[in-house]
Structure 1
Amino acid sequence: MASRRKGRILAFQALYSWEAAEGVVGKSPAAGSGPFIPEGLLNFSWLETEKLATLDGGTAEFSRLLIQGTIENIAAVDAMIRSHLKNWDFSRLNRVDLAILRMSSYTLMFQGDVSPSIVIDEAIGISKEFGTDDSYRFINGVLDSIRRTLQESENQKQQTLQDRQIPK
């Protein structure tokens, strides 16, 4: 399994665990605000010993980036997901789908160096492996809608910049 794919699966599993432990409502005791990220989540103490022993540094670092970035930006990520749910209530999302949507939405929103098609393809693959029979269709629809919105926003920014340029 490719290193990035493995990192995404680890991040998905960590985000699933975080949500199951109701991490969204937890607050950092040190900072006093924002979601609390347990150290064990980022050092993979929840991972089986055999798997932890074979985890390479690049995969672990990539996974940490996804976990930390998603949780630190959870309000914006969740707002984006909510705005793209058609006839579906956010609170009714199953935890597997929610973890995949959060990780992938974070990547689409904040990691411009990753192709949206790769993000969506990876999310579909993870949902086929861990989700329900219909999860991949649902996740594909939501993420593609988010991708289109972000692309339209970027196009509008570019057009605004072009319109503001002083003619020579």
Structure 2
Amino acid sequence: MGKRTKARECALQMLYQWDITREPMDRVAGLFWQVRTSTDETRAAAERLARGAQGQMARLDEEITRASHNWRFDRIAAIDKNILRLAVYELMHEPGTPSSVVIDEAVELAKRFSEADAPPFVNGVLDAIKARVRGEPAGQPPPGSGRRASKKERDSTND
């Protein structure tokens, strides 16, 4: 498991614990690191993500609510909310990380920690949010993501 992947997983676990207990994040993080070992780099990245998402909770929840059509926010499972919060935070505040990576990692977290129907839900919500916060078209990978343009797409750029 890569350092960023591990950091996202640790951040999710801390954010989820905070969301359920509402203990101060300093206490949550302190207890978490007592039972979990990690490199200083991974630990710093995990705490930056968890604390960042916690601090932006209202804005993140607004974005999730806007993008989760036909789902009331209070009906979304707590683990899924926190996966989405972390990913939306990263989309908004970590522009150096490609959207496709953020979304793929969130989908993988949903596969690992949530129910079978969560990954497509997480993917759809984040795709819609990506379009708003990064200005990238929904349903398409970002420019330079390695996807080859179709003949129709190539032809339309030569007009």
For 2:6, the aligned partner's letter is K
1:47 Cα deviation (Å)?
4.7
Code of the residue aligned with 1:7 in structure 2: it is A
Task: Tell me the alpha carbon deviations over residues 47-80 of structure 1, each in whole angstroms, 9 at most, x when there is no partner.
Answer: 563x33xx11000000011011101111111111
Query: How many angstroms does 1:152 deviate by?
Result: 3.0
1:116 aligned to which of 83, 89, 99: 99
Report the counterpart of residue 63 of structure 1 in structure 2: 46
Give the Cα–Cα distance (whole angstroms) in 2 for the partners of residues 18 and 94 of structure 1.
15
Q: Deviations over 1:139-165 (max 9, x none)?
A: 000000000112339xxxxxxxxxxxx
Please list every run of at least 4 consecutive aligned residues from structure 1 whose deviation after the TM superposition is greater than 6 angstroms: none
Q: Are the counterparts in 1 of residues 107 and 123 from structure 2 also a CA contact under 8 Å? A: yes
Q: Does 1:40 align with 2:9?
A: no
**Corresponding residue pairs, total:** 136
Q: Establish whether residue 95 from structure 1 lines up as the match of residue 82 from structure 2.
A: no
Query: 2:92 touches 2:134 (CA, 8 Å); kept in 1?
Result: no
**TM norm structure 1:** 0.76
Output the amino acid matched with 2:58: A
User: d(CA) in 1 for partners of 2:101 and 2:135?
Assistant: 19
Paired amino acid for 1:116 = S
Aligned-residue CA RMSD (Å): 1.6
Percent identity reads 31
Label 1:122 to 1:16 Cα distance change in 2 as closer, same or farther (>3 A).
same
What's the TM-score, normalizing by structure 2?
A: 0.80
Q: Distance in 2 between matches of 1:151 and 1:107?
A: 11
In structure 2, distance between residues paired with 1:37 and 1:65: 15
What amino acid is the match of 2:32? W
Aligned positions of 1:17-166 closer than 5 A: 17-21=17-21, 23=22, 37-43=24-30, 45-47=31-33, 49=35, 51-52=36-37, 55-152=38-135
> Matched residues in 2 for 1:124 and 1:38: separation?
25
